[in-house]
């Protein structure tokens, strides 16, 4: 599951990398969280543009977004069948530009350690996503998105069993081309990256709070191994000694 990410790309770099016909005002973000407005790229009427959209997809048929579950991720295995995602897979594919994303590893003692994950060559990421537009009865309009997740490759499996679908440069055009590339073909583009394509390091648990958003969040930290559980073992004479297991 991808639940937090960073995006520090300047608008001019976004425009060049993703062949945009527009720019939107962006500031570097280091801890982007669900429900927040995020930058996403999609094509309409042959124009590829960046938009701000809510992270948490709201299909057009929803009556009240306040009563609808928060859908931040779509699993690649089921998105073609799920009512919330299948129309977006056909008509609303997008990419979410990112510099890197966070994932949490569960330690043996059940504590969770966050990691920051980037491409091994530090290039920007294009996360595969889906978008939808919701229109309210009083003219309200919400553009919203969900990222797509795939099974983790062996390298990332050390941290978590899922990872976002990250598109390479050759796949971006086909993913965004909803007119000529059908859903079944697009589905084949959302794949785990090969081992060695990514790198990662542990970061501060400050990232757990969406209130924190600064460059220090992506800096590596030293992680101490979790303490092993300790039990008392009886010894001869009625005493006890500590026993690690």
* Calpha distance 31→35 (Å, rounded): 12
**How does 116-130 read in b/e, with b if 16+ C-beta sit within 10 Å?**
bbbbeeeebbbbbbb
CATH class held by domain 4-244: alpha beta
80-128 residue pLDDT tens: 999 999 999 999 999 999 999 999 999 998 999 999 999 999 999 999 9
Is 94 one of the annotated active-site residues of the chain? Answer: no
Q: What is the pLDDT of residue 70?
A: 93
Domain extent listing, the chain: 4-244
* Calpha distance 21→63 (Å, rounded): 33
* Calpha distance 241→1 (Å, rounded): 43
Best CA proximity match to 28, nearest among 98, 115, 122, 85: 98
**Is the pLDDT confidence value at 186 over 80?**
yes
Q: Select which of 25, 103, 158, 185 is catalytic.
A: 103
**Is the pLDDT confidence value at 230 over 70?**
no
Contact call for residues 139 and 44 (beta carbons, < 8 A): no
Is 67 one of the annotated active-site residues of the chain? Answer: no
16-69 residue pLDDT tens: 888 888 888 889 999 999 999 999 999 988 899 999 999 999 999 999 988 899
């Amino acid at each position: 599951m991808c639940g937090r990410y960073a995006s520090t790309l300047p608008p001019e770099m976004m425009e060049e990398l993703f062949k945009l016909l527009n720019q939107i005002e962006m500031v570097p973000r280091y801890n982007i969280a669900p429900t927040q407005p995020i930058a996403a790229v999609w094509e309409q009427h042959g124009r590829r543009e960046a938009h701000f959209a809510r992270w948490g997809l709201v299909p057009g048929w929803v009556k009240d977004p306040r009563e609808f579950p928060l859908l931040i991720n779509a699993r690649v295995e089921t998105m073609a069948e799920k009512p919330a995602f299948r129309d977006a897979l056909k008509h609303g594919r997008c990419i979410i530009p990112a510099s890197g994303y966070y994932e949490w590893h569960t330690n043996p003692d059940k504590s969770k350690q966050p990691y920051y994950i980037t491409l091994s060559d530090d290039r920007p990421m294009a996360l595969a996503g889906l978008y939808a537009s919701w229109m309210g009865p009083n003219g309200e309009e919400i553009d919203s998105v969900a990222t797509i997740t795939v099974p983790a490759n062996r390298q990332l499996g050390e941290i978590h069993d899922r990872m976002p679908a990250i598109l390479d440069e050759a796949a971006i055009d086909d993913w965004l081309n909803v007119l000529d590339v059908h859903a079944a073909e697009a589905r084949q583009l959302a794949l785990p990256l090969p081992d060695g394509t990514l790198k990662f390091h542990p970061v501060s648990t400050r990232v757990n709070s969406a209130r924190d958003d600064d460059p220090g969040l992506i800096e590596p930290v030293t992680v101490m191994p979790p303490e092993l559980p300790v039990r008392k073992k009886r010894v001869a004479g009625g005493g006890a000694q500590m026993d690690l297991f």
